[in-house]
């Protein structure tokens, strides 16, 4: 069984779309017509949020709207701007997680996307240790709260947020040590972290073997997958540029062949065109590209 493909709705809300974000209905129509199987929900207005859809009745109606286009939901990416997990008490973050989990569950997904919220910066060894320990405790509490409801939190590491070195990401997985805390492996972010050492403070790290080596390093902890190419640059000197498939440096055939069932056996693959002005065109081209990629990898085994 091939993984189902979903499209992150944030592609039509941030960056070049920030001033005039597409209404969610338009995103659903586009996603369906482009051949995707599902949507990954950007939890920032005007796209659905747990604050807006605060009753089961409203959420059932939202489900009907999504299902009317033949789509499922692969995950929910709510805002955590007001509750940065490395700087607030665990109970505040856990409360936010619980609301997100309830909303996502009512939409048929158990996957909550998280990040560190804080920008990368230079820290003393002692300051780093304190902050790291606090974050791991907060995320452990959040993961256990999610797990109690049959959900999981998936951390998307990226250059624009604190903890973006391969060793730091792995260390956090070990520190949280919960089956309900997983990694969201984004190929563009992995390239920028493992190959380009983008926005690494207090020393840089590179992984020989690049994206594939990074995936193998994190393999026991990976719970979700975002595909997008990388041209080796940053968008506005913040996060990874999300490039057109085939025009970047990510070796997708190698990644999928060498990791075997790690990604190929997943139910969902998310396609992430965040901050990309060409998503309307490139998003359509991505579906046959990925489907062909999967077929070629399967036939080579």
Which one, of 200, 124, 205, lies nearest residue 163 by Cα? 200
For 179-248, give the DSSP string.
Answer: TTEEEEEEHHHHHHHHTS-TT--SS----TTHHHHHHHHHGGGEEEEEE-B--S-EETTTEE--BPTTSS
CA atoms within 13 A on the CB side of 153: 32
Interaxial angle between packed helices 210-218 and 187-194, expressed in degrees from 0 to 180 and rounded to the nearest 10: 110
Q: Which range marks the domain in which residue 231 is found?
A: 4-299
pLDDT digits (tens, 9 = 90+) for 252-289: 999 999 999 999 999 999 999 998 889 999 999 999 99
Residue 240 CA to residue 191 CA, distance in Å, equals 9
Residue 144: other Cβ atoms inside 10 A: 16
Phi and psi torsions of 268, nearest 5°: -125, 140
Q: What is the mean pLDDT of the chain?
A: 97
Contacts of 86 (CB under 8 A, 6+ apart): 116, 117, 118, 131, 134, 135, 138, 162
Encode pLDDT of 129-144 as tens digits: 999 999 999 999 999 9
pLDDT of res. 83:
98
Lowest mean pLDDT among 13-22, 86-95, 99-108, 216-225: 13-22
Q: Give 54's contacts (C-beta < 8 A, 6+ positions apart).
A: none
Q: Are the beta carbons of 235 and 278 closer than 8 angstroms?
A: no
pLDDT reported for residue 1 = 57
Domain count across the chain: 1
Mean pLDDT of 5-32: 96
Q: What is the CATH number of the domain that holds 157?
A: 3.20.20.150
Lowest mean pLDDT of 142-156, 198-212, 236-250, 281-295, name the range.
Answer: 236-250
Phi-psi region of 237 (alpha: psi -120 to 50; beta: other; left: phi over 0): left
pLDDT at site 93: 99
Q: d(Cα 69, Cα 31) in Å, to the nearest integer?
A: 9
* pLDDT tens, residue by residue, 137-177: 999 999 999 999 999 999 999 999 999 999 999 999 999 99
pLDDT higher than 80, residue 95: yes
d(CA 256, CA 212) in angstroms, rounded, equals: 8
Task: Mark 269-301 as b/e (b = at least 16 C-beta within 10 Å).
Answer: bbbbbbbbeebeebbeebbebbeebbeebeeee
Percentage with pLDDT > 90 across the chain: 95
Sign of CA dihedral 210, 176, 110, 1: positive
């Amino acid at each position: 069984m091939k993984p189902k493909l979903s499209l992150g709705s944030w592609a039509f809300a941030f960056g070049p779309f920030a001033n005039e974000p597409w209404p969610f209905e338009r995103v659903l129509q586009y996603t369906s017509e482009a051949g995707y199987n599902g949507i990954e929900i950007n939890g920032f207005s005007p796209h659905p949020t747990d604050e807006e859809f605060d009753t089961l009745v409203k959420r059932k109606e939202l489900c009907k709207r999504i299902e009317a286009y033949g789509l499922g939901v692969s995950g929910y990416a709510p805002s955590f701007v007001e509750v940065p997990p490395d700087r607030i008490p665990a109970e505040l973050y856990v409360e936010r997680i619980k609301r997100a989990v309830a909303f996502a569950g009512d939409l048929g997904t158990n996957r909550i996307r998280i990040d560190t919220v804080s920008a990368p910066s230079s820290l003393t060894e002692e300051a780093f240790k304190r902050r790291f320990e606090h974050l791991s405790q907060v995320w452990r509490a959040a993961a256990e709260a999610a797990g109690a409801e049959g959900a999981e939190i998936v951390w998307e590491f990226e250059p624009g947020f604190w903890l973006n070195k391969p060793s730091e990401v792995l260390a956090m997985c070990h520190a949280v040590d919960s089956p309900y805390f997983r990694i969201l492996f984004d190929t563009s972010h992995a390239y920028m972290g493992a190959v380009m050492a983008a926005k690494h403070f207090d020393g840089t790290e590179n992984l020989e073997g690049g994206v594939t080596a990074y995936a193998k390093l994190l393999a026991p902890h990976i719970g979700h997958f975002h595909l997008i190419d990388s041209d080796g640059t940053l968008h506005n000197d913040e996060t990874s540029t999300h490039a057109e498939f085939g025009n970047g440096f990510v070796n997708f055939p190698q990644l999928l062949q060498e990791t075997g069932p790690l990604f190929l056996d997943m139910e969902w693959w998310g396609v992430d065109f965040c901050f990309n002005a060409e998503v309307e065109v490139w998003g359509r081209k991505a579906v046959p590209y990925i489907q062909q990629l999967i077929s070629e990898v399967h036939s080579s085994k």
